[in-house]
A and B are shown apart, each in its own frame.
Chain A
Amino acid sequence: MILVVVMALSLWRDRAGLVLVFVLPPLVFIAFATVFSAGASGRLDIRAGVVDEADSADSRRLVDSLRQRLGGRLTRLPDTLALEDAIAAGRVDAGLVLHGDLADAPTPVTVLIHPGRRAAGEVLTAQVNAAAGQDLPDLMLHREVAVLDPILALTPDQVRRATGAPSGFGSPPSFTVQRILPGGDPLVIYYAGAVSILFLMFTAMQGAMSLIDERRAGLWMRLGLSAGGIAPLLGGRMLWLTGLGVVQALVLFLVAAVLYGVPLLANLAAWSATAICAAAASAGIALALATACRTREQAQPVSTFAFLILAAIGGSMAPRFLMPEALQTLGWLTPHAWVIEAYQAVLWRGLVNTTVVQAWTVLSSFAAVGFLAAVWIEGRRRL
């Protein structure tokens, strides 16, 4: 019994331990529940693009209905090519092309699906069918009657009565068709990027935490006597952590290339730039955290919590389009989202587009801000 009391007292007086045991679990639960519950319940805030080639009264009604359902997440685009580009660039998750007469054409709606976001395509298809069924019942009934009339030889009276009782008919056949865009399976690249940045963070933190040990042993004070001062010492550590991160990412992507045919060698230059930026961002963040913490006991739970939350929001654990819209937006504040986007663009699409350049810029900024914060914190500690 006395040991129970001793351990209870020890835990009570260990603030970091208390946070780890009692505060972190519910916080991580809240974060994960928010991130994943939307996907599990089917309430997905997907972003869709639409091309209205028909430009008829019916097609406009369908677009209006979809706009109400998707809110600001429906974007009109001028033609199919632009829509395919938007899907490929990740500006929208899935697309819709309305062509022909919605009432009579056999398959007037084509849903364009990114091969890496099939769930988004399914959700958009369901939204289109629901919009048509609930907000355009006359149109759907017309399609049913048009299908059934040649078979059953309905009288005009039957047709009139039928159009007054739309609930008697089922879903319209072939109202939508799905087309998956070419490009193989980008999910491998997605998860290579997602896992890479997740472990880059943990690796960088492990390396940065040796700084805490060095500080405790007096090694940091001795190092601080070097003529360069603190900034070059932290800079050297940043350089090492960045290099280590690049090698770690290289090993992971080489495995992806060998096992899954990820085109690493064909896009090596752009991949290298992305890997360097990602590793530098991880190193900067880890150094800032390590300098801010006085002990390993502080740094361990703080970094674990921070990195798990960043990974969840940033899309390292599940694709961001499965998350509520607010979290998708929040995801852009994490390096994870940018790393994943950049790797996808570079390796799947073989592009160095605006998104990639933005990603490099944002990741470099994470690195710079983290490093400067570490120098500032360490300078303050010395004073």
Chain B
Amino acid sequence: MAAEQTEVVLRLAKATRRYGNKAALDQVDLELAEGEVYALIGRNGAGKSTLAKAAIGALALDAGSVRVLGADPARDRSVRREIGVAPQEIALYPHLTVTENLGVFAMLAGVSRTERASAVARAMDQTVCTERAGERLDHLSSGWRRRANLAAAIVHRPRLLVLDEPTEGLDAETRLVLRSLIDGLRTDRTAILLISHNAEDVAVLADRLGVMEAGKLLVEGRPLELMAQAFGGRTVLVARLSAASPSAERILAARGLASSDRGSCWSGMVVDAVAQAHEIKMALRSVDVELRELTVNPPGLDALINWAMGSVGA
């Protein structure tokens, strides 16, 4: 019901882009409404960056269409002002200060001279980097640069924001600041396309999640629903042994675990992981195999990607 009341900011319809015989985007349909955070996950080369480029009009499609607020961003220059991008690299001028950088991008985005100073101040305030406003980018640590990188993407109050790994390599504090910012932007009805490998970011921020592989959008849905659909009540059990042993192999394989390194590290998806862990511990002790570590984890994005590839991509 709510989706009907909100405006669709980004719409890709059968978006297709090929490089030679390889499809970087293969008939992708995607809609992103205002105030929504859509997380895009997938392996390297799955087509996430290509989709992001297509979404902002930086890449022409071989077939299909892209519309931002109803206009083609590759042709309609005015709609580009409604888009903000924070690439994974720090896309700012290193010899300029934070304020100067934001001023440049505010001007290029068409923010009027009278509003520019307040726009820059607001963006710095939102990303909590005001205290470093007068410092040159190349004198800042990576966390501060990333805040400035994000500030430059929102200085002109875009209605569509594309974020490529915004929390990559950040400390916990900066990560929280940026998550809080993204949450705030969602409240301000900004539509956010988030490319991330970070499961926590996706879990905390994303309203919807799409899994890409080989240019295709394999599955999409709400993160919790997708996780439930993919794994039911299962969690990941990891057992690390001090040494490989045939008897341990029999015990672990019988419980659905597989080794990734010739017998010393085992993992697998199990139901009722706590009971399973106890059983494994007892069984290994009975055959005198030393257990170095036994952990129970929620399934990560990699597991979700693997599930999507297995259930849809195959």
Contacts and interface: CB of A to CB of B under 8 A. Distances in A.
Nearest to A382: B58
Interface residues of B, number: 27
Contacts of B209: none
Contact of B93 (A218, A219, A226, A228): A219
Interface in A207-245: 214, 216-219, 221-229
Interface in B81-124: 81, 83-85, 87-93, 105, 108-110
Q: Which of B77, B91, B110 has the most A CB atoms < 10 Å from its CB?
A: B91
Contacts of A224: 58
Contact of A222 (B59, B60, B85): B85
Contact of B77 (A218, A221, A227): A227
Considering the complex of A and B, which 7 residue pairs feature the smallest CB-CB distances, nearest first?
Answer: A218-B87, A226-B108, A218-B91, A219-B91, A383-B60, A217-B89, A222-B91
A218 B110 contact: no
B80 A227 contact: yes
Given A227-B77, A227-B81, A383-B59, A218 B88 contact: yes
Interface of A: 214, 216-219, 221-229, 382-383
A214 B83 CA distance: 19
Nearest to A383: B60
A222 B87 contact: yes
A223 B108 CA distance: 7
Contacts of B110: 226-227
27 contacts: A214-B91, A217-B87, A217-B89, A218-B87, A218-B88, A218-B89, A218-B91, A218-B164, A219-B87, A219-B91, A219-B92, A219-B93, A221-B53, A222-B153, A224-B58, A225-B56, A225-B80, A225-B81, A225-B85, A225-B109, A226-B108, A226-B110, A227-B77, A227-B80, A227-B108, A227-B110, A383-B60
A83 B53 CA distance: 65
Contacts of A214: 91
A225 B87 contact: no
Contacts of B91: 214, 217-219, 221-222
Contacts of A229: 77
A382 B89 contact: no
Contacts of A228: 77, 108
A225 B59 contact: no
Nearest to A222: B91
Contacts of A227: 77-78, 80-81, 108-110
Interface string B41-69: 00000000000010011111000000000
A229 to B, nearest CB: 6
B239 interface: no
Nearest to A232: B108
Nearest to B110: A227
B2 to A, nearest CB: 29
Given A225-B57, A382-B59, 10 more contacts: A214-B91, A217-B90, A221-B56, A223-B108, A225-B56, A225-B81, A226-B80, A226-B109, A227-B77, A228-B77
Contacts of B308: none
Contacts of B81: 225, 227
B152 interface: yes
- Pick the most buried of A219, A221, A222, A227: most chain B CB atoms within 10 A of its CB: A222
